[in-house]
Amino acid sequence: MDLHLTLDRAAGRLAGQLAEGLRDAVRDGRLTPGVRLPPTRDLAADLGVSRGVVVTAYEQLVAEGFIVSRQGDGTRVATCPAAGPAAGPRGEAHRRALRLAAGTDAGPADPPGIAYDLRPGKPDLASFPRDRWAANLREVLRELPHTALNYPDPAGVPELRAELAGHLARVRAAAPEPGGIVVTAGVAQMLATVPRILIEEGHRVLAVEDPLGHHQIPMLGATGIELAGVPVDEEGIDVAALARTPARAVLVTPAHQYPTGVVLSPRRRSALIEWARDVDALIIEDDYDGEFRYDRDPVGCLRGLAPDRVLLAGSVSKALSPALRLGWAVAPPWLAVRLRAARALHDLGSSVLDQHVLARMIGSGEYARHLRVMRRRYRARRDAFVAALRERLPQVRVHGVSAGLHAYAELPGTCDETAVVAQAAALGVAVEGVAPMRVGRPGPPAIVVGYARLSERRLAEAVDLLAAAVRAV
Amino acid sequence: MDLHLTLDRAAGRLAGQLAEGLRDAVRDGRLTPGVRLPPTRDLAADLGVSRGVVVTAYEQLVAEGFIVSRQGDGTRVATCPAAGPAAGPRGEAHRRALRLAAGTDAGPADPPGIAYDLRPGKPDLASFPRDRWAANLREVLRELPHTALNYPDPAGVPELRAELAGHLARVRAAAPEPGGIVVTAGVAQMLATVPRILIEEGHRVLAVEDPLGHHQIPMLGATGIELAGVPVDEEGIDVAALARTPARAVLVTPAHQYPTGVVLSPRRRSALIEWARDVDALIIEDDYDGEFRYDRDPVGCLRGLAPDRVLLAGSVSKALSPALRLGWAVAPPWLAVRLRAARALHDLGSSVLDQHVLARMIGSGEYARHLRVMRRRYRARRDAFVAALRERLPQVRVHGVSAGLHAYAELPGTCDETAVVAQAAALGVAVEGVAPMRVGRPGPPAIVVGYARLSERRLAEAVDLLAAAVRAV
């Protein structure tokens, strides 16, 4: 296959040039839908560029929906790439945009034909405390001085930052320092911002757990940083492998690794912090599911152990609702200042009314009470779900159910994961395969199953259908 | 003055390198507070780089608070640059961050010692419809399906986009197309996003009106685009001068130029659109103050005349409150798709509850009614303010009061604008000088005065003090 790709080295931005060349090839029909692209290593050798250039270009095109990458199946041109007529002034050059957004959603609300939505990453939306939110907003609007309705502090309103400091110290031992808390529009915004700051600081590579949340891959890739996948085993991220990468920054989910559900072991925690001190590195701790713990001892956050090395990021997306787009970062002072500046230069901060409502709910104890209620509810669902899996799918190994809102279900080694996901969908059950969550390294087939949003009865029905899907495959 | 600046051309990012070199010089004491930096043209010649590189580096350092740029006074090292001990793991290299945010705020709420805050750009915060906002939120939370509490469409909830389409067609003849509306976190987010998209499309330069809102200068500069200032005369932006720049995109405020208050003349409107068609350009129309018009004929937006060429951006910041961080862009389809993708890759969208409340208020007519009430209130304030100015400061020429929330007051040619601003502040009246709003070109001294937030009586008192300040200078 000769793709006729030419790169202008003097012009820089090689990955961007390569992506553009591949887009052109798709548009011209030199690359047809379904055709397999060369492995990154081979294409890099052909073009005389580093493999990272090709990986970055491929990631960008995956984000845009031009190509599809599947474990065991290589990278292929998408079957409906950049469809639709160009409507803009720049015609051809913009067709690619027409599919860009579709590939980067956090997930549609309700896929058609799906009766049991077990996709992970979303809480029980029916439990959102609607009355309390409305009542607190009424109080906020009764009490707030007019000046609070001006442009906000881009780092967040002081009331919320103070309440978050108390809350995160109490429940997560997060060592929040005054001035170290920045309100964010959610963990996503933090993921889109911190790599850009790292690049300004001379970083080129960010290490990530492999596998990781597949929505995070295009989001991190769009910042221009190169991702180095580091394997995760039963103790969590492999710190020795991390040390062999050129990365001096790492994104981890120690409380409940996403998607495997592993808790970072005490030994690994120490090793990770030691690595950070040795090589002057930053640890980005996504406190994913940190609030929901069922039958294991509490595990503090990494940040509490090394506040000078760790940025802790969290949000209300699992505790309340992802529709609020509200979160926080607890950062070393230098980074908190940079995060605030990034918001000052980007969006001037989060909705002030939502911030004040959350501050009131934390301050009054309502937020902690809501978490306790949800923990009990989720635990009951987890118990029902795991019992049903053990009974109906004994051949599946279930991991990571001592905390969080999802289970990592390892399929028998011979089982085709993609076929199971497709078969389950055909039966009305939405789950996710782990393959799109891998950065590079292959691994055993598995599905990721969120149990948070269905009642115990409906979970048992869904597991029946899942078992039928596995049998059919 | 030998600054010992060395640039590594092979490493790229020359403006970033230059900014870093200058920061180091400030930290090392080679550049001391108050010292004047070389003009951009001279430093560019010394270093053998384009002038744009130096301009970009200076803009970045202004945004960070390291240097201060004043018309007629050149560019000087700030008197308290990057103060405070370094607290982060990278020590010295991060000190600069400690002042970064302070320089880029949209403005503090209440400066100490100021009894009369006449700074422009903010509405009357006391008029925010608190009860109606709370009541609408209660209704929203009563009616919203659970699925609406999931991750939102990053382009905005459909209900709000539909209501905005109707509203902008009715009041602004904005030619909104289905799919062309993207909800933003305010005009600021649009300003931070569109230049990045333009750069991806091969643009290097963005033309801006000179003068323009001075908070916009660092925000646009941080995107990496080069700014080309284009003069504004009594008909608005000088399109012939625009055509002489290399820019193929321009940011304009046709409804009420900020800060001069000029309305773009019909002749210039045609010329601007003709330019855009001739050179395949994009017009970014910041619909600043478009809603508040007092005693002039309605002027439609540019977008209505050339929907394929114009992005119209607006927000609720003047109509309701800047604390909501909620706005919109009406864009040609190719650009709407890119803006949606940018949100999908950056923050996943705006707070859903705020979006639904605004949609209800537009749909019920409350939003339009609120605008009518505010228009009457602001008109009365404008009348009182202009009458007081004519009586107490006849030597000042007042411009741009037929619309908007501020007046542009041209001082007598011999008057030192900076001294007037300082003297007014000493007397308890905050106003802004126009010099920090200029991109390059000098111009007559003027102050920019917002009259929206004070009662008629207090406006008269403030004008008394302003007159005393002018006399003292």
Q: What is the pLDDT of residues B157-195, one digit of tens each?
A: 999 999 999 999 888 888 887 689 999 999 999 999 999
Q: Residues for chain A: how many in total? A: 473
pLDDT band, residue A65 (cuts 50/70/90): low
Q: Is pLDDT at A385 greater than 80 in this prediction? A: yes
Least confident of A192-196, A217-221, A228-232, A362-366: A217-221
| pLDDT beneath 50: ranges in chain B | 80-109
Instruction: Report pLDDT for A172.
Output: 80
Query: Cβ contact (<8 Å) for A351 and B349?
Result: no
Look up residue B38 and give its DSSP letter. P
Tokens 């001068």, located at residue: B241
Query: Cβ contact (<8 Å) for B155 and A93?
Result: no
- In angstroms, rounded to a whole number, what is the distance separating the alpha carbons of residues B95 and B80? 12
Query: Cβ contact (<8 Å) for B322 and A151?
Result: yes
Q: Are B347 and B185 in contact (CB under 8 A)?
A: yes
Q: Domain ranges in chain A? A: 9-84, 116-126+369-472, 145-364
Q: Are B75 and B68 in contact (CB under 8 A)?
A: yes
Neighbours of A29 (CB within 10 A): 8
Torsion-angle region of B302 (φ positive above 0: left; ψ -120 to 50: alpha; else: beta): alpha
Instruction: Report pLDDT for B60.
Output: 77
pLDDT band, residue A104 (cuts 50/70/90): very low
- In angstroms, rounded to a whole number, what is the distance separating the alpha carbons of residues B448 and B441? 18
Instruction: Report pLDDT for B143.
Output: 94
- In angstroms, rounded to a whole number, what is the distance separating the alpha carbons of residues A209 and A463? 28
Helices (H), A249-365: 266-279, 302-305, 333-346, 352-363
Class of domain B9-84: mainly alpha
Q: Which of A72-81, A420-429, B23-32 shows the highest mean pLDDT?
A: A420-429
Residue of chain A whose alpha carbon sits nearest to that of B281: A89
Structure tokens at B61: 């350092």
pLDDT tens string B318-358: 999 999 999 999 999 999 999 999 999 999 999 999 999 99
Helix axes A456-472, A417-426, angle to 10 degrees: 120
A contact residues 116-155, partner B, Cβ 8 Å cutoff:
122, 125-126, 128, 130-131, 133-134, 137-138, 141-142, 146-155
C-alpha dist (Å) from residue A185 to A137, A163, B20, B373: 19, 17, 29, 33
Instruction: Report pLDDT for A97.
Output: 32
Instruction: Report pLDDT for B100.
Output: 34
Instruction: Write the single-letter amino acid at A96.
Output: R
Q: Is B12 on the interface with A (CB under 8 A)?
A: yes
pLDDT tens string B428-449: 999 999 999 998 788 899 999 9
Query: Cβ contact (<8 Å) for A97 and B63?
Result: no
- In angstroms, rounded to a whole number, what is the distance separating the alpha carbons of residues B33 and B12? 29
Residue of chain B whose alpha carbon sits nearest to that of A11: B12
Residues of chain A found within 8 Å of residue B200, distances taken between Cβ atoms? 16
Residues of chain B found within 8 Å of residue A147, distances taken between Cβ atoms? 109-110, 125
Q: Report the percentage of chain A scoring pLDDT > 90.
A: 64
Task: State the smallest CA–CA distance between residue B341 and chain A in angstroms.
Answer: 4
Neighbours of B342 (CB within 10 A): 26
Q: Is pLDDT at A276 greater than 60 in this prediction? A: yes
Helix (H) or strand (E) holding B87: none
Classify domain A116-126+369-472 by CATH number. 3.90.1150.10
Instruction: Report pLDDT for A91.
Output: 29
Instruction: Report pLDDT for A366.
Output: 96
| Cα A50 to chain centroid, rounded | 27
The SS3 assignment for A107 reads: coil
Mean pLDDT, residues A43-53 taken together: 86
How would CATH label the architecture of A145-364?
3-Layer(aba) Sandwich (3.40)
Partner-chain residue, chosen from B104, B344, B347, that has the shortest CB–CB distance to A325 = B347
Instruction: Write the single-letter amino acid at A456.
Output: E
Instruction: Report pLDDT for A423.
Output: 94
Q: Is A350 on the interface with B (CB under 8 A)?
A: yes
Instruction: Write the single-letter amino acid at A157.
Output: V
Instruction: Report pLDDT for B85.
Output: 28
Query: Cβ contact (<8 Å) for A133 and B141?
Result: yes
- In angstroms, rounded to a whole number, what is the distance separating the alpha carbons of residues A466 and A449? 10
Instruction: Report pLDDT for B1.
Output: 61
Q: Is B350 on the interface with A (CB under 8 A)?
A: yes
pLDDT tens string B381-404: 999 999 999 999 999 999 989 889
Instruction: Report pLDDT for B63.
Output: 67
Q: Is pLDDT at A63 greater than 80 in this prediction? A: no
Cα torsion angle, A198, A203, A209, A214, sign:
positive
Instruction: Report pLDDT for A230.
Output: 97
pLDDT band, residue A64 (cuts 50/70/90): low
Task: State the smallest CA–CA distance between residue B95 and chain A in angstroms.
Answer: 7
Instruction: Report pLDDT for B2.
Output: 65
- Residue B402, C-beta contacts closer than 8 angstroms, at least 6 positions apart: B261, B263, B293, B294, B295, B296
Q: Are A51 and A41 in contact (CB under 8 A)?
A: yes
The SS3 assignment for A249 reads: strand
Residue of chain A whose alpha carbon sits nearest to that of B142: A130
The SS3 assignment for A181 reads: strand
Nearest to B29 by CA among B93, B75, B71, B81: B81
pLDDT tens string A442-451: 889 999 999 9
Count of CB pairs separated by less than 8 Å, A with B: 259
Q: Are A299 and A268 in contact (CB under 8 A)?
A: no
Q: Which long-range contacts (CB under 8 A, 24 or more apart) does B57-61 make?
A: B57/B15, B57/B16, B57/B18, B57/B19, B57/B22, B59/B217, B59/B218, B59/B221, B59/B227, B60/B15, B60/B16, B60/B19, B60/B218, B60/B221, B60/B222, B61/B19, B61/B22, B61/B23
Nearest to B155 by CA among B176, B174, B187, B181: B181
Q: Is A273 on the interface with B (CB under 8 A)?
A: no
pLDDT tens string A335-379: 999 999 999 999 999 999 999 999 999 999 999 999 999 999 999
ipTM of this predicted structure: 0.79
pLDDT band, residue A103 (cuts 50/70/90): very low
Tell me the backbone φ, ψ of residue A230, rounded to 5 degrees: -120, 130
Tokens 């998607």, located at residue: A259
Structure tokens at A445: 């087939």
